[in-house]
Amino acid sequence: MFKDNRFKDLTMGDLRKDLIAGITVGVVAIPLGMAFAIASGVKPEYGLYTTIIAGLLVALFGGSRFQIAGPTGAFIPILLAIVLQYGYEDLLIAGLLAGIMLVIMGIFKVGNSIKFIPRSVTIGFTSGIAIIIFSGQFENFLGLDGIEKKEYFHENMLQIIRNISTINIYSILVALLGLLIIIFLPKVFPHVPVLLVALIIPTILAILMFPGKVATIGSEFGGISQSFPEFTMPKISMDKIVYLWQPAFVIAMLGGIESLLSAVVSDGMTGKKHDSNRELIGQGIANIVTPLFGGIPATGAIARTATNIRAGGVSPFSGIFQSVFVLLTLLLIAPYASHVPLASMAPILMVVAFNMSEYKSFWHILKLKSGDSLVLVTTFLLTVFVNLTIAVPIGLALAMISFIKRMSEVLKVQKILPNTSFLDLEDGNEDYRCPQIASFTIHGPLFFGAADKFETIITQSINERPSVLILKMRHVSIIDVTGEANLSSLILDFQRMGGTVLISEIEDNPFEMLEMSGLSVVIGQEHFFKTTTEAINYALTLINPENCPVCAKNGYDKCQTFIQLEEKS
């Protein structure tokens, strides 16, 4: 289906670079995979399974040389909501359905269209996700007991407030140590895998200084299995497809957006170009296969992809090596992961949330106090207090309404005013208009959002019924069905009153619309002109100067107002 050039012309030196980059990314991916899985309400090993399988399949079938796929923070709220509402088994089905949707989107080349999603929407739900992830770590950071995960943000905050008296000082010490390591270690040792260190050192501290005092992966999840998961086919029924299609669609859209954003970032860092539709198909294949082995939905990870590039990754082999490294780590040292305190994972996710919040962009859009600001705030609040399933469609709808409103304001209808200074007008009436010819310049798209405005302005601007109506349409970029209908209504009404409509300087695209609708026949092919001057000269042959109070009074045999009109650009 696709010609893959990503593996061509590789040397042994390139493979060595990919091996080093793959190991480097794998070291970063292990703590993130476990942390994202736990935050999503599932066992930590499921995050590792996702890292292994999705990372391998996206490297093999994706559209970017450098993309590293796996579980990401953006998925946490939607996955946790699915687990709470439907359960883990149905999460696997939703992920599989999302994978099918992504493949279909890639086949039908939707990848080129996702980039048109407004930034106000993406910043809105990304910032909302960041708030949910950050606040969701209060429980582990503070070591609270008796917390029951709820679907909605405010319910979880109430749970924390009610159980605030169960704070564990040891958990706070572990979390603070991990946070300090994440903040300050890169400044001293920039090449050290900071996230792995932020897990290992707090774990050693907890084991040596206060064993059994903090919750660990082992105490909460029973440890991590030291084996690869077995193939299991989820029990899919039509009923489950019907009630899971909506969360699956959100997973697919979110996964598609984040994957393509990650690919764009990699393009900017390397100067290479990705294939967006192939990337969607690769992500789809990964999300179809991963649930069959117990993994959660995955997408391209911007931070890990950037790490891959900075570590010297050259080809998709770096993603393959990353998956192999994580698999070997799982098989060799999985039992030791049971000692990792949950409190040490809290600062990792908090930092991830802070980095993905894009707070600078959020405040910048907010300060604009425009329609985009309303879209941003609405999407953000719905993401935090309801869910992404509602937030994204409503955000997109508001963005479209805002866009339509702005585009309707772009349309301008200006009357072409002839020079009347040379005429002998009674009572110094400088506002004299020729009663037989009306001429207008149309600026902007003639579409459903502006069509009624166009017809109303022209109708109200014609004080006396002229014999000829000239429409200069050089600046009309498009005419849609509604615009054509309103233009047709105006023309037919004008013709019924005995008038003639002339069209000048119309571009090819709008003219094709008039041809397809048959309106060009109604107007008459002879009434289309390349220049407005030609249209005016033709109009002068259709009128009678004797019917003009000024021209007739002064004995002119031709219209003097329009005959001296100069063509305007």
More confident residue, 303 or 421: 303
Q: 532-569 pLDDT, tens per residue?
A: 889 988 988 888 766 666 665 665 556 655 555 444 44
Q: Tokens 């930092």 appear where?
A: 351
Residue 195 lies in a domain: yes
Q: 206-234 pLDDT, tens per residue?
A: 999 999 999 999 988 887 887 877 888 88
Q: Given pLDDT bands bounded at 50, 70 and 90, which one contains residue 430? A: very low
pLDDT for res 216 = 93
Q: Are residues 353 and 418 in the same domain?
A: no
Q: Are residues 223 and 323 in the same domain?
A: yes
Q: Are residues 352 and 419 in the same domain?
A: no
Query: What is the four-CA torsion angle of 482, 483, 488, 493, rounded to 10 degrees?
Result: 100
pLDDT for res 552 = 58
Q: Are residues 189 and 306 in the same domain?
A: yes
Q: Mean per-residue pLDDT for 475-502?
A: 92
Cβ atoms of 374 and 115 within 8 Å: the answer is no
pLDDT for res 418 = 56
Residue 519 lies in a domain: yes
For residue 482, what are its two tokens? Answer: 């509604």
Q: Tokens 């021209």 appear where?
A: 551
Q: 373-382 pLDDT, tens per residue?
A: 999 999 999 9
pLDDT for res 568 = 44
Q: Are residues 423 and 554 in the same domain?
A: yes
Phi/psi at 70 (nearest 5 deg)?
Answer: 170, -170
Cβ atoms of 168 and 143 within 8 Å: the answer is yes
Cβ atoms of 144 and 138 within 8 Å: the answer is yes
Q: Mean per-residue pLDDT for 500-523?
A: 94
Cβ atoms of 297 and 98 within 8 Å: the answer is yes
Q: Mean per-residue pLDDT for 70-75?
A: 91
Look at residues 341, 358, 375 and tell me which one is the last residue of a structural domain: 358
Backbone dihedral region of 518: left (phi > 0), alpha (psi from -120 to 50 degrees) or beta? left
DSSP 8-class letter at 473: E
Domain holding 291, by residue range, is 12-115+172-358
Number of C-beta neighbours around residue 415 at 10 A: 14
Q: Are residues 176 and 251 in the same domain?
A: yes
Q: Are residues 354 and 416 in the same domain?
A: no
Residue 4 has pLDDT above 80, yes or no: no
User: Which residues of 497-568 form beta strands (DSSP E)?
Assistant: 500-504, 528-529
Q: 243-268 pLDDT, tens per residue?
A: 899 889 989 998 998 898 888 889 88
Of 69, 135, 547, the residue nearest 559 (C-alpha): 547
What is the total count of domains within the chain? 2
Q: 112-148 pLDDT, tens per residue?
A: 777 678 889 989 988 998 999 899 999 999 999 988 8
Q: Mean per-residue pLDDT for 402-409?
A: 86
Name the percent of the chain lying above pLDDT 90: 59
Residue 96 lies in a domain: yes
Residue 46 has pLDDT above 90, yes or no: yes
Residue 33 has pLDDT above 50, yes or no: yes
Q: What is the CATH number of the domain that holds 445?
A: 3.30.750.24
Residue 310 has pLDDT above 80, yes or no: yes
Q: Given pLDDT bands bounded at 50, 70 and 90, which one contains residue 506? A: very high
Q: Given pLDDT bands bounded at 50, 70 and 90, which one contains residue 431? A: very low
Phi/psi at 244 (nearest 5 deg)?
Answer: -105, -5
Q: How far is CA 368 from CA 19, 43, 394, 544, in A?
A: 46, 43, 20, 55
What rounded mean pLDDT belongs to the chain? 88
Residue 208 lies in a domain: yes
Quote the CA–CA distance of 515 and 503 in Å, as a whole number: 13
- SS3 track for 23-37: HHHHHHHHHHHHHHH
Q: Are residues 224 and 100 in the same domain?
A: yes
Look at residues 358, 374, 390 and tell me which one is the last residue of a structural domain: 358
Q: Are residues 454 and 310 in the same domain?
A: no
